Homo-oligomer: A and B are copies of this chain.
Amino acid sequence: MDENIRRMQDFADLHGKQLRPHVKTHKSIDIGRRQIAAGAVGITAGTIGEAEVFAAAGFDDIFLAYPIWPTGGKASRLAALAARTRLRVGVENVAAVDALVPALGDRRGSVGLVIEVDCGAHRSGIAPHQAGRLARCARARGLRVDGVFTYPGHGGRAGSREGAARDQAVALRAAVAALADEGIRAEVVSAGSSPTVAFSTDDVITELRPGEYVFNDVDNHSLGACELDQIGLFVATTVVSDQGHDHVVVDAGTKALAREGDPVRGWGQVPALGGVLSRLNEYHGFLRLPAGGARPPVGSVVPLVPHHVCPVVNSFDELILTDRRGSDLGTWTVHARGRLN
């Protein structure tokens, strides 16, 4: 993990980008502090709850990269956050802009809006050429517009990383131009993600928001976004049954692993054994082993690599720290675990 933090910071520095790691992956104040100490300019959060946990711990520059909807209790929580930390929030529709005005009240000028544009993932985000219109609408209501962001989610498929990063640069350039047409300078031009970051070096981009790189996982390795020995998180799981099938049963199931993976590649891997989790129940994982390979005895602990690390970390309250030799160095809390709102 320490090497991953260093490597990503070096990459950002080399290309003159600000690094703003997404804390959704680790949700841990201790790890966030290491990222800041290494040179990160601030953090990215996915929910108000995540942002609150880090703001309370003294993180003073937070971008909530999500299409915000500030009704009910969220309105006052957002205003309280803005009083505590330098805050930017994502916005991508007029209704949300309208809702932010009463939500932020007097703090209206102290929150920076970052317009989300769609670069091909077709998740959330306005079309890039419409970003200027939305920015103008926000300004007319007394809100501050700081820039634009996008998420190249279509770069999470095999062979698509470079193309998605190219789409991302095209969309961000168009959005910056659309803001400029309204006389608004995009101070922040923010790009994702761990799978695509290696190709996100276009001049238009000012900041990078990768999250998963801190731990990496099977998905990032399959995509070519990391080496096997750059994976920094394992689920320590115990073999509880061996009835002579082509699998043994381990005590990690859907409640630990969130059924991330797919039926073809499985739901988690134990590289040292060539083992693949071929099926999951809630508290049971079916660890399929190669014929003739080593068979871990009942009671032994095997290190499982998740397909997608983020929901796995969110299943646990604590991380156990080790060095490369596996020595136990203590535990850290997953402070923002379960802060889904």
Residues of A within 8 A of B (CB): 24, 46-47, 66-69, 71, 92-93, 95-96, 99, 118, 122-127, 153, 238-243, 245, 249, 251, 254-256, 258-260, 281-284, 286, 297-299, 308, 310-311, 314-317, 337-338, 340-341
Bound together, the chains give a CA A67 to CA B299 distance in angstroms of 11
The minimal Cβ–Cβ distance linking A153 to chain B, given in whole angstroms, is: 7
Bound together, the chains give a CA A249 to CA B338 distance in angstroms of 20
**Which of B69, B238, B284, B310 has a CB less than 8 Å from the CB of A240?**
B69
Chain A interface mostly:
loop
* Oligomer: number of copies: 2
Tell me whether A241 and B67 are in contact in the complex, defined as CB-CB below 8 angstroms, given that A256-B340, A259-B260 are known contacts: yes
| Chain B residues, CB < 8 A from A282 | 24, 46, 310-311
Taking a contact as CB atoms under 8 Å apart, the answer to whether B123 and A255 are in contact is no
| Chain B residues, CB < 8 A from A338 | 315-317, 337-338
**Which of B66, B99, B239, B298 has a CB less than 8 Å from the CB of A299?**
B99
Taking a contact as CB atoms under 8 Å apart, the answer to whether A259 and B256 are in contact is no
Taking a contact as CB atoms under 8 Å apart, the answer to whether A254 and B243 are in contact is no
Taking a contact as CB atoms under 8 Å apart, the answer to whether A67 and B258 are in contact is no
Bound together, the chains give a CA A245 to CA B241 distance in angstroms of 47
In the complex, residue of chain B having the shortest beta-carbon distance to the beta carbon of A242: B93
In the complex, residue of chain B having the shortest beta-carbon distance to the beta carbon of A125: B243
